[in-house]
C-alpha cells in the first residue's frame, strides 16, 4: 500500500512538493511545512526566496515561519562571528559575493538593549553601533570567504573609520539593511565601504579598515 503520510517524506521532498506559486490555504500543509523546517533547517535554503510569512493563510503560522527564519539566520551569523548577545548585531547575511560584497540585516527592535536608554522618550540607534554593525558585517563576509580551518583561531579587529556620515536617525521597529563592499586588501589588512538603508532611504555610510589577528 502506498504511504501518503507527509511526515514520512523527506524534508527536501516536502519542500519540492509545496507549490510556491499558489497562496497556501491548507492548514495541514502549513503545519507539515513548519514541522519539516524545524526538523531540518537546511530546507530553508530551497524556499527562502520564494516564500515569506505573508504567504501563510493562517497568520500565526506566518509568524512561526518568520521566527524560524530569524533563528536560523542568527545561528548562521554566530558561526561566522565571535560576538554573542547582546553585542551580536547582525541578524542575516545575504547576496554574498565571496570576499567582495554582501548585504547584512539588523533588526532594530524596541527592546534592543542599545535603544532603551538612548533616548527614553525618543529611542534612536546610536551611530557608533551602526559603525559596529558595519564592522561585524565585514567580518562575517571575510569569515565566510576564508577557509574555516584558517579562520577558526582568528579575530577581525576594527582599525580605523573614515568618512562616517549619519544622514537620518534609525528608529526602532525597522530593518536596517547594510550594503558592504571590500575595496582592497593587503596581507591581513582589509578596507571596506558601506551604506545603510531603511526602506531604500539612506541612513548612514562609511569607510573603515580592519585587520585579522590571532586569538590569544
Q: Which domain holds residue 29?
A: 6-75
Whether 1 is covered by a domain: the verdict is no
User: CA 46 to CA 18: how far, in whole Å?
Assistant: 11
User: CA 81 to CA 105: how far, in whole Å?
Assistant: 15
Average pLDDT, the chain: 85
Same domain? For 161 and 116 the reply is yes
Number of H helices, E strands in the chain: 6, 6
- pLDDT higher at 12 or 57: 57
Length of the chain counted residue by residue: 216
Neighbours of 196 (CB within 10 A): 27
CA nearest neighbour of 5 among 14, 184, 99: 14
Same domain? For 194 and 110 the reply is yes
State the Cα angle at 37 between 106 and 10, rounded to 5°: 150
Among residues 55, 83, 118, 144, the one annotated as catalytic is 118
Edge to edge, what strands does the sheet with 174-186 contain? 92-97, 101-108, 174-186, 189-198, 201-214, 154-166
pLDDT band at 168 (very low <50, low <70, confident <90, very high): very high
pLDDT of 7: 47
- Report percent pLDDT > 90 for the chain: 44
Whether 90 is covered by a domain: the verdict is yes
pLDDT in tens, 106-156: 999 999 998 888 998 899 999 999 999 999 999 999 888 887 777 777 888
pLDDT in tens, 11-45: 555 555 554 445 547 888 888 888 888 877 777 77
Tell me, rounded to whole angstroms, the distance of Cα 97 from its chain centroid.
15
Number of domains in the chain: 2
User: CA 2 to CA 157: how far, in whole Å?
Assistant: 58
Same domain? For 14 and 119 the reply is no
Same domain? For 122 and 194 the reply is yes
pLDDT in tens, 180-191: 999 998 888 999
Cell numbers representing residue 15 in the block: 519542500
Mark whether 83 is an active-site residue.
Answer: no
* CATH code, 95: 3.10.129.10
pLDDT of 49: 65
Assign 3-class secondary structure to 103-170: EEEEEECCCCCCCCCCCCCCCCCCHHHHHHHHHHHHHHHHHHHCCHHHHCCEEEEEEEEEEEEECCCC
Amino acid at each position: 500500500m502506498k504511504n501518503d503520510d507527509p511526515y514520512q517524506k523527506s524534508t527536501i521532498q516536502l519542500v519540492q512538493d509545496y507549490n510556491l506559486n499558489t497562496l497556501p490555504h491548507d492548514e495541514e500543509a502549513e503545519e507539515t511545512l513548519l514541522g519539516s523546517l524545524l526538523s531540518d533547517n537546511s530546507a530553508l535554503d530551497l524556499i527562502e526566496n520564494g516564500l515569506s510569512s505573508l504567504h501563510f493563510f493562517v497568520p500565526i503560522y506566518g509568524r512561526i515561519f518568520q521566527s524560524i527564519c530569524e533563528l536560523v539566520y542568527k545561528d548562521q551569523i554566530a558561526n561566522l562571528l565571535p560576538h554573542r548577545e547582546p553585542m551580536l548585531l547582525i541578524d542575516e547575511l545575504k547576496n554574498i559575493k565571496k570576499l567582495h560584497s554582501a548585504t547584512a540585516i539588523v533588526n532594530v527592535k524596541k527592546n534592543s538593549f542599545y535603544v532603551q536608554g538612548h533616548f527614553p522618550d525618543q529611542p534612536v540607534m546610536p551611530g557608533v553601533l551602526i559603525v559596529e554593525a558595519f564592522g561585524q558585517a565585514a567580518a562575517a563576509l571575510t569569515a565566510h570567504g576564508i577557509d574555516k580551518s584558517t579562520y577558526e583561531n582568528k579575530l577581525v579587529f576594527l582599525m580605523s573609520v573614515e568618512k562616517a556620515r549619519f544622514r537620518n536617525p534609525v528608529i526602532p521597529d525597522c530593518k536596517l539593511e547594510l550594503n558592504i563592499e571590500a575595496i582592497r586588501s593587503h596581507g591581513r589588512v582589509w578596507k571596506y565601504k558601506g551604506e545603510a538603508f531603511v526602506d531604500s532611504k539612506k541612513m548612514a555610510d562609511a569607510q573603515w579598515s580592519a585587520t585579522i589577528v590571532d586569538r590569544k
